[in-house]
Amino acid sequence: MILKFIISYLLYHTFAFPEYSILESVRVYSKTNGILVSLTMDSLPNEKNITGWQSKNDWFYITLYQCRIIKNNQLLKDLHSNILNFEIIENEESLQLGIKSREPIEQFNFSLNPNMKTITASLHFSTKFFAKENKDEIVANHNQNTGLSRGTRTWLNVSGIGLTLSGILKEEKVSNNSQTIAGLSIIVATFLLDIILKDF
């Protein structure tokens, strides 16, 4: 009879009052190809109790079953400016962390670190978005005015220095030496032309 009571008591408390993990802090970082979310817990939940899903309105949700938060605790420690919005929704059975980003999440994975009691969620943007970002960056870099090309600038400077040195080695007056004047003119003209082309 006593054994029956103890077993009933343990089963009741196991199912009626399951063990909850407490979410202590959240850090959200924006990366080139996605978002990194670091969650610090008082104890790690079972890996089966962590899920993620993308909604149709650009929100991505991380759901932590059997997790709670401490009321009036500032959980969000860091939030990158590229993240449009962030919210924590506490339900009866779970916590949901909502992240609104500029692009939908295509892939995600969770890694648990038992020593640090952290969950790291790696959320990845679509490869199409990443390809578009790289293309835009290449076009932007191509359109930047860089003045004279490096090869042309080097060739002109070497020619100018060569003429200047050969004129100096002739041991004539610098003001009368046409090679020295031509060499110095090429060096100065290269410098000025490079500055002018960078401004356009």
Which CATH number do you get for residue 59? 2.60.40.3500
Tell me the pLDDT tens digit for each residue of 72-95: 667 776 677 778 888 888 888 889
| Residue 56 falls inside a structural domain | yes
Provide the pLDDT confidence category of residue 5 given band limits of 50, 70 and 90.
Answer: low
| Residue 111 falls inside a structural domain | yes
190 and 92 both lie in a single domain = no
97 and 167 both lie in a single domain = no
Instruction: Tell me what the mean pLDDT of segment 59-74 comes to.
Output: 85
pLDDT at 6: 60
Instruction: Tell me what the mean pLDDT of segment 30-42 comes to.
Output: 88
- Answer whether 122's CB lies under 8 Å from 111's CB: yes
24 and 96 both lie in a single domain = yes
Domain end position, chosen among 88, 110, 126 = 126
122 and 181 both lie in a single domain = no
pLDDT at 17: 45
In the predicted model, is pLDDT for residue 143 greater than 80?
Answer: no
H or E stretch covering 7: helix 2-16
31 and 106 both lie in a single domain = yes
Pairwise pLDDT comparison (147 vs 48), residue with the higher score: 48
| Residue 131 falls inside a structural domain | no
Task: Write out the residue range of the structural domain in which residue 29 sits.
Answer: 19-126
| Residue 136 falls inside a structural domain | no
36 and 81 both lie in a single domain = yes
- What's the mean pLDDT when you consider all of the chain? 79
Residue 59, number of CB atoms within 10 A of its CB: 19
98 and 187 both lie in a single domain = no
SS3 189: helix
β-pairing, 21-31 with 76-79?
A: parallel
- Full DSSP string of 118-176: EEEEEEEE-HHHHHHHHHHHHHHHHHS--SS-HHHHHHHHHHHHHHHHHHHHTTS-TTT
In the predicted model, is pLDDT for residue 13 greater than 70?
Answer: no
In the predicted model, is pLDDT for residue 172 greater than 80?
Answer: no
Provide the pLDDT confidence category of residue 127 given band limits of 50, 70 and 90.
Answer: confident
113 and 154 both lie in a single domain = no
Global model pTM greater than 0.75: no
Burial 83-121 (b: 16+ CB within 10 A, else e): beebeeeeeeebbbbebebebbbeebebebeeeeebbeb
Number of domains comprising the chain:
2
Burial 8-22 (b: 16+ CB within 10 A, else e): eeeeeeeeeeeebbe
Domain end position, chosen among 111, 126, 141 = 126
* Residue 78, C-beta contacts closer than 8 angstroms, at least 6 positions apart: 27, 28, 29
In the predicted model, is pLDDT for residue 193 greater than 90?
Answer: no
Among 17-26, 143-152, 154-163, the range of highest mean pLDDT: 154-163
